[in-house]
Amino acid sequence: MSNTVENTPDRLAEDFVAFAVEAGVLRLGSFTTKAGRNSPYFFNAGLFDTGAKLKRLAQFYARRIIDSGLRFDMLFGPAYKGIPLVAAVSMELASLGHDYPWAYNRKEAKDHGEGGTLVGAPLQGRVLIIDDVMSAGTAARESIALIQSAGATAGGVAIALDRQEMATEVVDGVVRDTPHSAVQYVREQLGMDVCAIATLADLLGFLSTQASPELAAHLPQVQAYRDRYGV
């Protein structure tokens, strides 16, 4: 389900973009993406690196998740960035009267103690995956497989930012653009709902209406990037 319609103001998304820029998490300039694209912006959720920033981020996630109407029984955070995210979001949801079990996975299985790769509540029912962004949908597929192997159902994904751009795939050793975004792939091919706190369209709206002159100067580059790689 889509949470933001272009050209329609979304106050939660606007506030989140402003917060991410102020926190230095959403940066404007010139950056090379994992796909090799020259991007005029960069989003690094790892820079929500203080207690206050992480708490504020969790508040945005919780409000978006509640507003989305997604049905789920528990939360899951894929290693590694999803681990602090799922912990913080579960606490914020609980503070709002929505107390859910949560779990996360390890990259390497333990052969002592409780063993295995899963930590926390047992995976069961409909599981909502908490992550930062989607680049190619690979992490989502891995999480879905892990959830299904435990006998549960992947019920949706909540992310901070939908880049709204073409994903890439490797064919015969060559990286090429796909006609869909990672979010569209998860929705259409994997049949899962995705809710995002904000999108690239929201960043464009922020730059055109709320940003300082210094930040607004980046608008043409971000719009050009959207025109070139957007879906």
Scan for tokens 């799922």, then name that residue.
86
198-231 pLDDT per residue, tens: 999 999 999 999 899 999 999 999 999 999 999 9
* Residue from 107, 112, 180, 218 carrying the catalytic annotation: 112
Which residue among 53, 110, 180, 218 is the active-site one?
A: 110
Q: Residue 155: CA atoms inside 13 Å, Cβ hemisphere, count? A: 18
Query: What pLDDT is recorded for position 34?
Result: 79
User: Can 180 be counted among the known catalytic residues?
Assistant: no
pTM over 0.85: yes
Please check whether residue 123 is in contact with residue 147, taking contact to mean a CB–CB distance below 8 angstroms.
yes
How would residue 95 be classed by pLDDT, with cut points 50, 70 and 90?
very high
Alpha helices in 69-160 (DSSP H): 82-95, 138-149
How would residue 111 be classed by pLDDT, with cut points 50, 70 and 90?
Answer: low
Supply the CATH classification number for the domain 11-229. 3.40.50.2020
* Predicted local distance difference test score (pLDDT) of residue 109: 63
Please say if 34 is a catalytic residue: no
Q: Is 212 helix (H, G, I), strand (E, B) or coil?
A: coil
